[in-house]
Amino acid sequence: MLKSLTRKEHAPRWLILIIDLVISAFAMYFSLLLRFNFEVENIYFYKIHWILLFVLSVRLTIFFLTRSYAGIIRYTGTRDTERIFLLILGSNFIFAAANIFNYYLINSLYIIPFSVIAIDFFISIFLLTAFRLFVKMVYAEAENIFRPEKRIIIYGVDKNALSVRQLLARHENINYRVEAFIDPSGKATGKILGGVVVKPEQDLALIFKNYKIDEFVFSDIKIENKQEIIELCLEADVKVLTVPQIEKWINGELSFNQLREIKIEDLLERAAILLDTQQIIKYIAGKKVLITGAAGSIGRELVIQVASFAPQLIIAFDQAESPLYDLELELEEKLKFKNAEIVIGDITNYKRLENVFSTFSPEVILHAAAYKHVPMMENNPYEAIRTNVRGTKILPIWP
């Protein structure tokens, strides 16, 4: 049943018209009950059928002429509420005019008491608007059930942040669930913004821990500690998005195409350095390249990058057996690169390096074998000096 609500077909217009008329009849009847303190013995209740017939005739005429029932209810907005206000105001003005006409020209009686007309005015507007908003809410919830969900955090509590939330709420294929707004100043902490709790920046790590956050959106990338926040997002495997400055929005509105993943250029305090690919090809292509520390994070990336520049041979040198094996599989199966030799050895072992150079005669050396975690190496200075200093010192001995 819920799935049927998400279909693109709209409810028949005649059905909306009937529901509006039923609401109008109920509003008038309930207004009479309120006016006369639920005493149905009053004279007006003896002619209630004529009163309702008159009310429905007027409302039907106005609804039909203005086609108030023709709108798509699931997209109800403020304009629809304004229209309902004007329609009810117009119809109740007719009720009042009919009262005056009947009182002074026919039988000195009011068709509907003026107090009832006033009460009906507010009840009708409330019920007709509530009906449309209820249908809109049901459609929205039904669509959310069958759309993949993404949990997000929005950094900021200004109008840009609200614009981001409203934009994501309109996404047709994904249900974006905002778990929190982050207030960098802390002044709005604990308050509710758009139905979502505002939390301090200090709670980010805790939020990442307690919720499976998929995306983090900066409503303004110009903040002082953006690098720290981005590093925290990367550690939690959270995708980081940013929006352009408001003056770059299209016609003053943000669009989905303007949301983008954050780039390294956004973090640099300078222009990005672009590599000269042609020069690298001239330097690498057709040559034997020795890459030390090939199993480490930097060395592994060097191996992958060098493989794309058509070297004659890559000698991947490291003392870590398992990571080297994984690298070998990646080169052969994923990159389809066959010209690689996996060599296990210690960068501080003079004899092993002598054997490598005499066997493969490398022409280019990319040295990445080193301990890189400074705090850990401060507690192990001997190994740090032995590898980082001695290994680097003995490597250039061979031509």
State whether 153 and 192 are in the same domain: yes
Residue 175 sits in the same domain as residue 74:
no
Which tokens is 244 given? 């352009």
CA distance to 81, 209, 378, per residue, from 186 (Å): 36, 21, 37
Write out the two tokens for 338. 């066959």
- In a shared domain, residues 33 and 113: yes
CA distances from 56 to 22, 29, 66, 83, 233 (A): 9, 12, 15, 18, 60
In sequence order, what are the residues at sequence separation of 6 or more whose Cβ sits closer than 8 angstroms to the Cβ of residue 244? 258
Number of domains in the chain: 3
Q: What is the pLDDT of residue 142?
A: 67
Which pLDDT does position 214 carry in this prediction? 85
Q: Within a domain: residue 343?
A: yes
| 162 and 285 belong to one structural domain | no
Last-in-domain residue among 267, 293, 309: 267
**For residue 340, what is the domain's CATH number?**
3.40.50.720
Residues in the chain: 399
Q: Are residues 250 and 343 in the same domain?
A: no
26 and 134 share one domain: yes
Give yes or no: residues 139 and 158 share one domain: no
Q: What is the structure's pLDDT at 343?
A: 94
For residue 376, what are the domain limits? Answer: 277-397
Whether residue 248 is found in the same domain as residue 375: no
The residue among 101, 124, 144 that closes a domain is 144
Spell out, as residue ranges, where the chain has pLDDT lower than 70. Answer: 1-11, 40-41, 69-77, 140-147, 170-173, 220-225, 244-260, 262-272, 397-399
Cα–Cα distance measured from residue 254 to residue 219, given in angstroms and rounded to the nearest whole number: 11
Q: Which tokens is 96 given?
A: 């009042």
Looking at the structure, tell me whether residues 39 and 110 fall in a common domain: yes
- The residue among 127, 144, 161 that closes a domain is 144
Please tell me whether residues 135 and 32 are part of one structural domain: yes
pTM for the structure as a whole: 0.45
Residue 346 lies in a domain: yes
Residue 391 resides in a domain: yes
Residue 272 lies in a domain: no
Query: Does residue 165 sit in the same domain as residue 96?
Result: no
Query: If DSSP codes are grouped into helix, strand and coil, which group holds residue 18?
Result: helix
Question: Which residue type, as a one-letter code, is found at position 89?
Answer: L
Name the nearest CA neighbour of 163 among 208, 203, 193.
Answer: 193
Measured CA to CA, the distance from residue 22 to residue 276 in angstroms comes to: 74
Residues 327-355 pLDDT 10s: 999 999 888 899 999 999 999 998 999 99
Residue 318 is predicted with a pLDDT of: 94
Question: Does 310 map to a domain?
Answer: yes
pLDDT at position 1 is 44
Domain co-membership, 246 together with 153: yes
CB 348 within 8 A of CB 391: yes
Predicted local confidence at residue 4, as pLDDT = 46
